[in-house]
Chain A
Amino acid sequence: MSKLATKSPLGGFSRDWKSVSLTELSDYELVSIAVAQGKDSDFEKRFKSVLKVNPPKPNQYVEVENGFVIWTGQNQYMLMMDNIDEKADLKMSERFGESAYCVLQSDGWACLQVDGPKIMDVLERFIPLDLRNAPNDFAARTVAHHIAVIVIKSPDGGWRLLTPRSSARSFLDALTHTTDSVIS
């Protein structure tokens, strides 16, 4: 049993402005999956058999059991699993065999769930993309306040934001500052 305790990037942050709420999520794993050259059809077969769906298209995510998969680049995907398993990349690697290369990314990103009736008023001050017109399976990577962010539309009307761990406190600072400004 490991002696070492874990520490989430934002210390379990949670705040509710009533019309907006921001909460850090930390029970997840992220695995980046890159398709090996020349192994496209093998990869697709395995993807379907392991995850039971077709791979997502650009600007899209697909739901899988216990998580979802985002399109992150040509022949590159990110799997987000809603449970802890720090060997997730090794397991995925085994299941994809020579058709793909898997890399653990969970610790590199912080995750925030953002909700509330006024959340769009906050996000339009923050994210350059047209989120108000985004389809329900929208997921995209962009930049907000000079910091990388992956935006994922939640089925329940809220949004999930992923941002790099090392600058996460600055990101949260900027987001709470914007929320205060919009709500006031």
Chain B
Amino acid sequence: MSLVDYNTPLGFTWNGKAYQGFEGDTLASALLRNGIKIVGRSFKYHRPRGIMTAGSEEPNALVTLIGGGSQEPNRRATTIKLFDGLEAKSQNHMGSVNFDLLAVNDLLSPFLAAGFYYKTFMWPRAFWEKLYEPAIRRAAGLGALSATPDPDQYDKGFLHCDVLIIGAGPSGLLTALNAGRAGKSIILADEDFRMGGRLLSEREEINGSNALDWVSSAIAELKTLPNVRLMPRTTIFGVYDHGIYGGLETMTDQIGAKGAKQVLWRIYAKKSVLAAGATERPIAFANNDRPGIMLASAVRSYANRFGIEMPNSALLTNHDDALGTPVDHVIDIRKGEHIVDTQGRGGIKQVTLNTGRKLSVQHLAVSGGWNPNVHLTCHKRGRPKWDETLACFVPDAQNLPAEMHVIGAANGSFSTHGAFIDANTVSELLGVKSGALPAAEDAPVNITPFWYVKGNKRGWVDFQNDVTTKDITLAHQEGFSSVEHVKRYTTLGMATDQGKTSNVIGLAVLADATGQTIPETGTTIFRPPYTPVPIGAFAGAHRGQHFKPTRLTPSHDFAAEQGATFVETGYWKRAQWLARTGEQGWRDSVDREVLMTRNSVGICDVSTLGKIDIQGRDAGAFLNKVYVNSFKLLKVGKCRYGLMLREDGIAMDDGTTARLSETHFIMTTTTAKAGPVFRHLEFCRQLLFPDMDVHLISTTDQWAQYSVAGPNARKLLQKIVDPEFDISNEAFPYMACGQMTVCGGTRARLFRLSFSGELAYEISVPARYGDALIREMIAQGKEFDAIMYGTEALGVMRIEKGHAAGNELNGTTTATNLGLGGFVSQKKDCIGKVLSGREGLTGEDQLNLVGFVPDKKGETLTNGAHFINQGDDSTPENDQGYMSSVAWSPMLETYIGLGFLTNGKKRMGETLVAKDFVRNNHVEVKVVSPHFFDPDGERLRV
């Protein structure tokens, strides 16, 4: 009997040599089929190791898959489905796997016991950093990364179901049949590429025929049910809150294949049934880790599922179940015999029994019993409970994740009959009828606990991390008695197999050392993931350009055509400057943009600033609550600057709000704060003022908005705005706003606002016209040499005018710091008003926003420099404040800066030192008004 398709041979390469396997093989079965004994070297001692299991619990056969110009280390050969052209190599050896130069470590083992970093490599102290640590690092780890970008694609998805059945062995399959026939939406997931669980590896009968027939017909029927989703090669790796499960589906093991290699599923299940089976455990004795020593259940898998014979074999066991393994000699511990040593470094040759007898063998099957796969029952901080009769941990029914049931071997029901009974029982609990009970074997569990052979020689417990019985007793001797400490000190159970074949044996050794029982010793907590999940799967498609969304402005394509350089502001891409041919470096472009705008007219896309449409009978009253200044009485057709505080008195955001009608306002926010301000406004609206008639909606993307600034701004706009609308200085003064039409009837809004300090407007059209409008304005602006300017020039101009922006509204500054203390209305409450009057934010010695110029013309100012009085030491106690924004001013032909200075308003004309220890740039600066250019605002009102 074998489930391998001998009609479909597959070629593969192992350590550079070509071999053949078959469809249905794993890499492990294909290696065994080809007589490969040594598949790797152990972690610490570099001992030769062979394949030990036939499942995801494999601790030894960790290989590197090669393909797509890359490689994937630490893959378990037992879970790789063989494909044609597979290329793999062994890991963790210097030289060949058969002759590893680092095997000298095994001779040094007395110096490499648990905790050796802290014991052996302590002297001389200087050698640790220079010699020992680098050497240990180089030797540590198993496989190596490719150091190239991962060529694989991954994806993520969302599934919903009534019942998630974890495991497609007999109990899972029968539950799926019952629930599926009843119309429940079911997901049946199994980590193997073939469903059937242990039935695939044993020779059993169900209803009087080959068990595999029952498996095939069950799967065939499930495939016909539209409400059932079969998911082979899908590991349910984690249980999360509220019925959410993580599943990793593997589509292929091929590296660089087309399409997603793996899909990470978030599964929302109303209920789950854990039918994950059990994992066999070995027994620890001296030299129990040689190639050719396997779990008995693995020997049966390779024989029955993969058709691989293992001649000249023996079995070591303490329970009846393993007796079905096809071997030549049985060593039954219950009859007083056990193994005390083995010979055969490159592959087992001989075993020595306690009776003195020696047996020549080429294969040794070992079984100490079965451990139910309880892991998922513990992901919500549950702990399993010890079953004395079964000599294993079982799920604690009182402490399961909500809505989870456990059945079959995972619940300690080890016979196939027991699995079917559990399936029918849980079906009733799920509210579905159970079908007829299939007839199957019902062997009782006859086990006498035996975990390890006591004695002086090392018996391996954790094969992957090379932790032996001696390490555990040593840890206890050194004072580590709690199971949590022993785990971390010895690293038992901390490898990629998470102790699946070693945890319980380790507990038994510790229990003996402490004189406690196994249940008294307890277990450590199982956490997701059950088996390793690649980081790439968690990333899914979110890598490279897909890492985060990009938001584009209405003028983006136009700006790109003009050769704009873009800057990322959160998700947005904004034109930073638009270089012209001949310009060398960004300063050339930015200085030119400032000069051309201030001398004629420039246009900047300001669509990214948040626009919040606020309507309602109480809209004005609402604005009074969130802004420090008054808006309730703002006239229709007018805009006003507003400052918003956090409830702790710190400035949150600023902007301008326009009143279009009695009940209609448009608020603007800074780009970065659009989302948080909207959230804050909804908080105020729903929680603090739930009875106000006020309604909010974001219109940031709805309207394209351009700033048109400069002495020729009005002239340009008079060519854009339709003639029936009067935008003369008299009809449309500074801070006016209104609805109008442009370019022959397109709906628009005009706001006379100025961030640059020039005669300026913001013109807004529905975004569908945004691209056309910028092109039309530039075309109409040709006679004025109109240009588009970017965020750098925007920034230079607002610094020249002394306007606060994000650098100043940095989450630590108050209205007083910003020079807006007088702006805060005394006649009304607002968010932040009370605490802005608290100790520390008021009184003497507050920071004031002021301007700075270098004392010596031509010197550079840098942002973040701290102000120290001349002659004082640069200490925190002498810190007078810091520089928040700097720019080269093309208008004043000097560097200018804005910054916060203690009592700055009273220190005009003083000279201080601006100290920048990061860029080593210390400059003497003079304190001046922050309004550098056109301080009286004459240009604004023309």
Residues of chain A touching chain B, judged by Cβ–Cβ distance below 8 Å, are 1-8, 32, 34, 36-38, 76, 86-87, 101, 103-109, 124-130, 132-133, 145-147, 164-167, 169-171, 173-174, 177-178, 180-182, 184
Are A181 and B766 neighbours in the complex by a CB distance under 8 Å? no
Residues of B within 8 A of A106 (CB): 702, 766, 768
- Whether a CB of chain A sits under 8 angstroms from the CB of B153 is yes
Are A125 and B156 neighbours in the complex by a CB distance under 8 Å? yes
Question: Whole-angstrom distance from the CB of A74 to the nearest CB of chain B?
Answer: 9
Contact partner, A178, options B541, B548, B697, Cβ 8 Å: B541
Are A124 and B157 neighbours in the complex by a CB distance under 8 Å? yes
- Whether a CB of chain A sits under 8 angstroms from the CB of B542 is yes
Residues of A within 8 A of B613 (CB): 103
For the complex with contacts A3-B746, A7-B554, A181-B259, 12 further pairs of A-B residues with Cβ separation under 8 Å are: A7-B769, A7-B771, A38-B693, A86-B766, A103-B613, A108-B699, A133-B185, A166-B700, A167-B550, A173-B546, A177-B541, A184-B259
Are A36 and B616 neighbours in the complex by a CB distance under 8 Å? yes
Closest 8 CB pairs of A and B: A184-B259, A107-B767, A108-B702, A37-B693, A34-B695, A130-B160, A166-B551, A4-B772
Are B157 and A4 neighbours in the complex by a CB distance under 8 Å? no
Give Cα A13 to B667, complex, Å. 33
Are B263 and A1 neighbours in the complex by a CB distance under 8 Å? no
Number of residues on chain B facing chain A (CB within 8 A): 61
Give Cα A37 to B642, complex, Å. 26
Among residues of A, the one whose C-beta sits closest to the C-beta of B722 is A2
Taking CB atoms and an 8 Å cut-off, the chain B residues in 562-592 that contact chain A are 571-572
- Whether a CB of chain A sits under 8 angstroms from the CB of B158 is yes
Are A165 and B701 neighbours in the complex by a CB distance under 8 Å? yes
Give Cα A35 to B329, complex, Å. 84
Contact partner, A166, options B263, B572, B746, B747, Cβ 8 Å: B572
Are B553 and A166 neighbours in the complex by a CB distance under 8 Å? yes
Residues of A within 8 A of B677 (CB): none
Q: Is the interface of B mostly helix, strand, loop or mixed?
A: mixed
Residues of A within 8 A of B615 (CB): 34, 101, 103
Residues of chain B touching chain A, judged by Cβ–Cβ distance below 8 Å, are 153, 155-160, 185, 258-260, 263, 266, 268, 541-542, 545-546, 548-554, 571-572, 613, 615-617, 663-664, 691-693, 695, 697-704, 742-747, 765-773, 776
Question: Whole-angstrom distance from the CB of A91 to the nearest CB of chain B?
Answer: 13
Residues of A within 8 A of B545 (CB): 173
Question: Whole-angstrom distance from the CB of A13 to the nearest CB of chain B?
Answer: 15
Are A170 and B697 neighbours in the complex by a CB distance under 8 Å? no
Contact partner, A3, options B572, B695, B702, B776, Cβ 8 Å: B776
Residues of B within 8 A of A133 (CB): 160, 185
Give Cα A177 to B691, complex, Å. 46
Residues of B within 8 A of A125 (CB): 155-158, 263
Residues of B within 8 A of A146 (CB): 548-549
Are A107 and B616 neighbours in the complex by a CB distance under 8 Å? no
Are B692 and A37 neighbours in the complex by a CB distance under 8 Å? yes
Are A7 and B768 neighbours in the complex by a CB distance under 8 Å? yes
Residues of A within 8 A of B551 (CB): 164, 166-167, 170
Among residues of B, the one whose C-beta sits closest to the C-beta of A11 is B557
Are B744 and A3 neighbours in the complex by a CB distance under 8 Å? yes
Residues of B within 8 A of A181 (CB): 153, 155, 259-260, 541
Question: Whole-angstrom distance from the CB of A161 to the nearest CB of chain B?
Answer: 15
Give Cα A24 to B564, complex, Å. 28
Residues of A within 8 A of B185 (CB): 133
Give Cα A181 to B159, complex, Å. 17
Give Cα A178 to B160, complex, Å. 19
Could you show 15 A-B contacts with beta carbons less than 8 Å apart?
Answer: A2-B746, A4-B744, A6-B768, A7-B554, A34-B615, A36-B695, A104-B702, A130-B268, A166-B552, A166-B700, A169-B550, A170-B550, A177-B541, A181-B153, A181-B259
Give Cα A107 to B770, complex, Å. 10
Residues of A within 8 A of B263 (CB): 125
Residues of B within 8 A of A126 (CB): 157
Are B552 and A37 neighbours in the complex by a CB distance under 8 Å? no
Residues of B within 8 A of A174 (CB): 541, 546
Question: Whole-angstrom distance from the CB of B552 to the nearest CB of chain A?
Answer: 6
Give Cα A167 to B546, complex, Å. 12
Most chain B beta carbons < 10 A, residue from A7, A8, A128, A177: A7
Contact partner, A147, options B156, B549, B693, B773, Cβ 8 Å: B549
Are A145 and B541 neighbours in the complex by a CB distance under 8 Å? yes
Are B768 and A8 neighbours in the complex by a CB distance under 8 Å? yes
Most chain A beta carbons < 10 A, residue from B155, B157, B552: B157
Give Cα A1 to B722, complex, Å. 11
Are A3 and B743 neighbours in the complex by a CB distance under 8 Å? yes
Are A101 and B766 neighbours in the complex by a CB distance under 8 Å? no
Question: Whole-angstrom distance from the CB of B641 to the nearest CB of chain A?
Answer: 24
Are A107 and B768 neighbours in the complex by a CB distance under 8 Å? yes
Among residues of B, the one whose C-beta sits closest to the C-beta of A164 is B701
Known contacts A103-B615, A107-B768; is A36 also within 8 Å of B693 by CB? yes
Question: Whole-angstrom distance from the CB of B657 to the nearest CB of chain A?
Answer: 16
Residues of A within 8 A of B746 (CB): 2-4
Are B772 and A7 neighbours in the complex by a CB distance under 8 Å? yes
Among residues of A, the one whose C-beta sits closest to the C-beta of B542 is A145
Are A2 and B745 neighbours in the complex by a CB distance under 8 Å? yes
Most chain A beta carbons < 10 A, residue from B153, B159, B546, B664: B546
Give Cα A109 to B700, complex, Å. 11
